[in-house]
Amino acid sequence: MSKIMIITEKPTAAKKIAEALDEKGSPKEVQKRKASYFECSRNNDILIVVYALGHLFELKQTEPGWKYPRLDTEWVPKYEVIKKDKSSKPLINLMNKLAKDIDQFIVATDYDIEGSLIGYLSLVYACNAEPNKATRMIFSTLTKKDIVESYESPSSLDFPMIDAGQVRHEVDWLYGINLTRALTLSVKNVAGWFKIISTGRVQGPTLSFVAKRDYDINVYVPTPFWGIKIIGEYEGTKLEIEFEKKKIETLLDADNIVKDLRNTSATIKAINRRKRTQSPPSPFNLSGLQSEAYRHFGFKPSRTLALAQKLYLDALISYPRTSSQKIPESIDVKQILKNLETRKKYSAEAKQILKIEKLIPKQGEKTDPAHPAIHPTGNKPTRRLTPSENKLYDLIVRRFFALFGEPAVKESIRADLVSGKHKMYLRGLRIIEYGWMRYYKPYAYTKEKEIPSIIEGESLSLTSIEREDKFTSPPARYNPSSLLKVLERKNLGTKSTRSGIVDSLRSRGYTLNDTFEISTLGYATLDTLETYVPRVLSIEFTRHLEEEMGQIQDGAQRREEVLAEAKRDLLTLLKTFKEQEKEIGQALVAGLQRYWKAKEELGPCPACEDGTLIIIKSPKTGKRFVGCTNYREKKCEQTFALPQKGIITPLEKECPHCGHIMFQVRSGRRKWETCVNWTECPGRQEDIQELEKRRKQRSEKKEDKK
DNA sequence: GCAAGGTC
């Protein structure tokens, strides 16, 4: 009898592996203070299944000081670097203690670069085990079959993969930490202000994409063009008719067309009908879910990820950080549908789908080595979901339903009309078969457009002809969802990190509001990097790193060589940077000053024409209030009182009650939104009542518990 | 006080 330790990446994986390997299928979960592990028996062996929580170890500089350059690092427990982290210590301590009388170690983390590294570091630094004697379980799904097979035919640790992972961490650390410090300290040394100005392998290109778009919009010159708006009539029904050309280049041409068509009728020359089938959509992977949730609910991708994580922890949906669009056969879709059938909200659709003889879900193209596509588990919620959680859950359930639907069939009709030398079109669209759209209902919509039944040779009168004056428009600004898609397409960041990186542009102050308009600070940072470190702005940096990681995995390069080269390059960069620190600092300070100034403005003054509202600190009383920029010259007397505590950030919206500007107040852990007119606003009375009501409910609940 | 990558 021997004692075997299996190291996994996360608690849910540990549980599944323990259940699959335990002879009775019911492993014992042993609680140890703030951590736990699973114990099972198999073939007279005792299996101890422990879990990490992603990375438990981090890189730390070996030399002290918040300075640059810092080129040497070592692996240390996460809690040594991140003060707030409370979870890594109990897990590392538990592994350390349990490892003392283990005969055999098995790494069973996700089979990818980061997973292999997580396993290796836990093995070496938490368990003090000899990695050459440990083995590796390799599985692609957490099904009993895969787990048992991988347990029975173990491999050795994949050292080239682990090396590649280490290099990824080290290069990102070297560039990210050193350049961020260089930027930040240049400002500190020039102006004495401490404001983190960050960059990195992914942040750099992301900022540069947004800047490129901002630039394209700023230099865009709209050109005029003209359109023709035609309303026709057929047996008393008014019809919108499309002119053959959507864009007419000159005013003269447009006017001539209007003249030609006025008071005429058009003859129907041909009627074209085309049937088109539309297959069901693919199962959700994380980015698909994020993009759909943004479209329908306006949720930022980072919010969708956070909500999905909660649903996953409540066992309502499968693991959300997946890139797979496949529902493998091992998932019992019938059981999931049966469970959903018991829910009033979903029973009708589930019942209908369960009538289908062979339940085969639609599959998408993308795969993931570790997890299937996002799908509901069918479990009933054990608590009341928040409105946002409910929305996201509903979207996931209905998308799952849609996978079993028939293709939708649409028919488009185009009637070709002629009047004199001009051609026009009358278009209609109708849905013949709803198919999967029935199941995905609120989230699948096609505008149907009815047209009367007409036949070739008939004519209809053109009752109104109007010229439309238009301008071409610049490219659209990014939104959180479209920017995330760009990162995905360029293979920058990962499914778990992209949404956070998109948010970081805003939280660092590189962009204003959520419109991805670049701030003066963003421009100054970009300018500096372009001049001194263009490499960190290009996606080539990532491509090069990927290449070298590949070579390490193929055995064509050694980790130490790649690292030495990275350090050498970085050191020359940092040297020139330090020599120019003063100029760099001055440029960044200028951008920062203008950024802060820009931020202080809350919006137009409601009382006068040319003023803007700003936050003013009274020199006499020291109290802050909102006033008009014309207040100081006594041209405008508009003022609003402000709460005296907390950080105030203006919001891009108006109060629904009084129309005044809204802002957010953050005081300690609390934050709330209110309008600038809060002392007078009628809506605030309602808010106060609402707050009172909630407070009462809360205190009642507390009493109930007692 | 910093990166990017896992995870809760």
Q: Please give the CATH superfamily to which domain A286-402 belongs.
A: Topoisomerase I, domain 4 (1.10.290.10)
- Cα of first residue to Cα of last residue in chain A, in angstroms, is 50
- Give counts: helices (H), strands (E), chain A: 20, 24
Whether the per-residue pLDDT at A198 is higher than 90: the answer is yes
Fold of the domain built from segment(s) A224-280+408-471: Topoisomerase I; domain 3 (2.70.20)
Residue with tokens 């600092």: A585
Give the span between the Cα atoms of A439 and A346, in whole angstroms: 10
**Helices A539-554 + A203-219 axis angle, to 10:** 150
Q: Quick one: pLDDT at residue A629?
A: 61
User: What tokens were used for A200?
Assistant: 């990195």
Residue nearest to nucleotide B6 (CA to C1'): A54
A646: left (phi over 0), alpha (psi -120 to 50) or beta: left
Nucleotides of B under 7 A from a protein CB: 1-8
Helix (H, G, I), strand (E, B) or coil at A129: coil
| pLDDT tens readout for residues A89-139 | 999 999 999 999 999 999 999 999 999 999 999 999 999 999 999 999 998
Q: How far is the CA of A499 from the C1' of B5 (A)?
A: 13
- What does residue A136 show for φ and ψ, rounded to 5 degrees? -125, 130
Q: Quick one: pLDDT at residue A652?
A: 44
Q: How far is the CA of A552 from the C1' of B6 (A)?
A: 21
Residue nearest to nucleotide B2 (CA to C1'): A177
Q: How far is the CA of A362 from the C1' of B6 (A)?
A: 30
Residue nearest to nucleotide B1 (CA to C1'): A196
Closest CA to A418 of A270, A274, A248: A270
User: What tokens were used for A427?
Assistant: 């278009």
| pLDDT tens readout for residues A205-246 | 999 999 999 999 999 999 999 999 999 999 889 999 999 999
Q: How far is the CA of A261 from the C1' of B7 (A)?
A: 67
Q: Which nucleotide's C1' is closest to A51 (Cα)?
A: B7
Average pLDDT of span A459-470: 94
Give the span between the Cα atoms of A377 and A400, in whole angstroms: 10
CATH architecture of structural domain A3-157: 3-Layer(aba) Sandwich (3.40)
Give the span between the Cα atoms of A21 and A43, in whole angstroms: 10
Q: Which nucleotide's C1' is closest to A195 (Cα)?
A: B1
Long-range contacts of A86-90 (CB under 8 A, 24+ apart): A86/A34, A87/A34, A87/A53, A88/A53, A88/A56, A90/A32, A90/A33, A90/A34, A90/A35
| pLDDT tens readout for residues A46-100 | 999 999 999 999 999 999 999 999 999 999 999 999 999 999 999 999 999 999 9
SS3 content of chain A, % helix, strand, coil (to 5): 40, 25, 35
Neighbouring C-alpha atoms within 13 Å toward the C-beta of A109: 26
A319 is catalytic: yes
Q: Which nucleotide's C1' is closest to A13 (Cα)?
A: B7
Residues 6+ apart with CB under 8 A from A555: A160
Give the span between the Cα atoms of A178 and A170, in whole angstroms: 12
Residue nearest to nucleotide B8 (CA to C1'): A53
Q: Quick one: pLDDT at residue A105?
A: 97
Which residue in the list A111, A319, A478, A523 is annotated as catalytic?
A: A319
Fold of the domain built from segment(s) A167-218+483-593: Topoisomerase I; domain 2 (1.10.460)
Domain residue extents for chain A: 3-157, 167-218+483-593, 224-280+408-471, 286-402, 603-694
Q: How far is the CA of A168 from the C1' of B1 (A)?
A: 24
Beta strands in A81-217 (DSSP E): 104-107, 135-136, 155-156
Q: Which nucleotide's C1' is closest to A199 (Cα)?
A: B3
User: What tokens were used for A623?
Assistant: 């109290």
| pLDDT tens readout for residues A413-453 | 999 999 999 999 999 999 999 999 999 989 998 888 988 88
- What does residue A312 show for φ and ψ, rounded to 5 degrees? -65, -45
